[in-house]
């Protein structure tokens, strides 16, 4: 196993199975892949098997099973492409497959989803909107992925909000997923955030007075930055997000640095570092007025816990910090210690707004 494959396994292994990759697939693929050049193709082959099972189930009229197979295929295709920027053509093919499988599954899963396209800066932000049971309008949480994640990875987290009566709106923003080919990463997330909330306010199923935002990893920077610039956000969750993304730059995996450069539209390493430094909450934290939940892991090697501690220290009037002693990046290795609690917290905050 070469250094890059080992790095992907060591930094992100729990995240795969936490977000939809079957354990058996994880073990089989990692047992085969010895060189990074094989990563995308081997994961894509594993995903194609799930998509074929979905097609077979759909043809047989077994629609619930088809939805689950397609959702699994989308997650596995996603991890074929997630930081595989060494071969943009192969990466994009895997990503298109993830989008295709996801779209096949959306109308078939519990709490079906629909795609929403939001015009932005000459291109589009693409989102998936899912509604809980009951009658709307519903409180709604905008869900933001990180540097190497997309809306196709978020289903397991969406489900927890939906079970608590909160609609989800999972978005590929600038530099992410379906938007990453036309829109580079940007620091001023209150700007795309404003376009997202403007779109939500048009929807009859959305309660415009109960809109919140949740973000993980780099999305854990986007979410509080978004909240700092839009008073329509009534609650915010930041899961393992950076305060200053460049602060730990020299210690993050090479795969992360390469992915950031590619999705920022730069080619020079120093330009990438400078762009990373622009993703900084200095001067923004005092503008956050809504309740803020911050989750951090002391074993996080990508975004050290001290960055979340700083965010909490500067927003302590409105923020609550959950520090997980064994948590890695994204705390995917200790899900039970934060996922349910986060969903409960969000439901409570949005219910409080209503009352």
CA 48 vs. chain centroid, Å, equals 23
Cα separation, 130 vs 169, in Å, equals 7
Q: Is 217 helix (H, G, I), strand (E, B) or coil?
A: coil
Is residue 7 flagged as an active site residue? no
b/e burial code for range 63-84 (CB count within 10 A of at least 16 → b): eebbbbbbbbbbbbbbbbbbbb
Catalytic residue (choose from 145, 217, 238, 296): 217
HSE (side-chain half, CA atoms, 13 Å) at 309: 8
* Ramachandran bin of 169, using left for φ above 0, alpha for ψ from -120 to 50, beta for the remaining angles: beta
Contact 21, 8 (CB under 8 A): no
Instruction: Name residue, tokens 């290795």.
Output: 333
Cα separation, 273 vs 102, in Å, equals 33
Contact 277, 240 (CB under 8 A): no
288: Cβ–Cβ under 8 A, 6 or more apart, which residues?
Answer: 224, 227, 228, 236, 315, 318, 319
On the 0-12 / 13-18 / 19+ scale of CB atoms within 10 A, 123 is middle
b/e burial code for range 167-198 (CB count within 10 A of at least 16 → b): bbbbbbbbbbbbbbeebebbbebbbbbebbbe
Rg of the chain in Å (alpha carbons): 19
Query: Which of 345, 346, 324 shows the shortest CA–CA distance to 336?
Result: 324
Instruction: DSSP letter for 280, please.
Output: B
User: Among all residues, which ones are annotated catalytic?
Assistant: 217
């Amino acid at each position: 196993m070469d250094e890059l494959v080992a790095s992907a396994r060591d930094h992100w292994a729990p995240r795969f199975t936490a977000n939809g990759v079957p354990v058996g697939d994880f073990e089989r693929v990692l047992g085969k892949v010895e060189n990074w050049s094989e990563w995308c193709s081997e994961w894509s082959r594993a995903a194609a098997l799930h998509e074929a099972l979905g097609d077979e189930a759909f043809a047989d009229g077994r629609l619930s099973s088809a939805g689950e197979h397609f959702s699994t295929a989308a997650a596995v295709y996603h991890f074929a492409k997630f930081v595989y920027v060494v071969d943009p053509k192969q990466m994009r093919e895997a990503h298109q497959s993830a989008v295709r499988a996801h779209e096949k599954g959306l109308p078939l899963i519990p709490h079906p989803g629909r795609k929403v396209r939001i015009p932005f800066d000459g291109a589009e932000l693409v989102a998936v909107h899912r509604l809980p049971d009951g009658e709307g309008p519903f409180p709604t949480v905008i869900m933001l992925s990180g540097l190497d994640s997309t809306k196709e990875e978020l289903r397991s987290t969406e489900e927890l909000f939906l079970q608590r009566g909160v609609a989800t709106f999972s978005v590929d923003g600038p530099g992410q997923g379906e938007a990453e080919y036309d829109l580079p990463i940007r620091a001023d997330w209150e700007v795309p955030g404003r376009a997202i909330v403007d779109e939500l306010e048009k929807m009859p199923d959305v309660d415009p007075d109960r809109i919140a935002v949740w973000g993980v990893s780099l999305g854990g920077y986007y979410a509080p930055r978004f909240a700092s610039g839009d008073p329509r956000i009534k609650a915010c969750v930041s899961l393992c997000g950076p305060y200053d993304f460049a602060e730990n730059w020299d210690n993050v995996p090479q795969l992360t640095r390469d992915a950031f450069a590619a999705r920022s539209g730069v080619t020079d390493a120093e330009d990438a570092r400078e762009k990373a430094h622009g993703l900084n909450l200095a001067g923004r934290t005092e503008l956050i007025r809504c309740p803020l939940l911050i989750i951090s892991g002391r074993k996080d090697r990508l975004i050290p816990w001290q960055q979340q501690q700083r965010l909490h220290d500067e927003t302590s009037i409105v923020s609550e910090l959950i520090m997980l002693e064994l948590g890695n990046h994204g705390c995917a290795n200790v899900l039970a210690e934060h996922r349910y609690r986060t969903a409960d917290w969000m439901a409570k905050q949005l219910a409080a707004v209503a009352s």
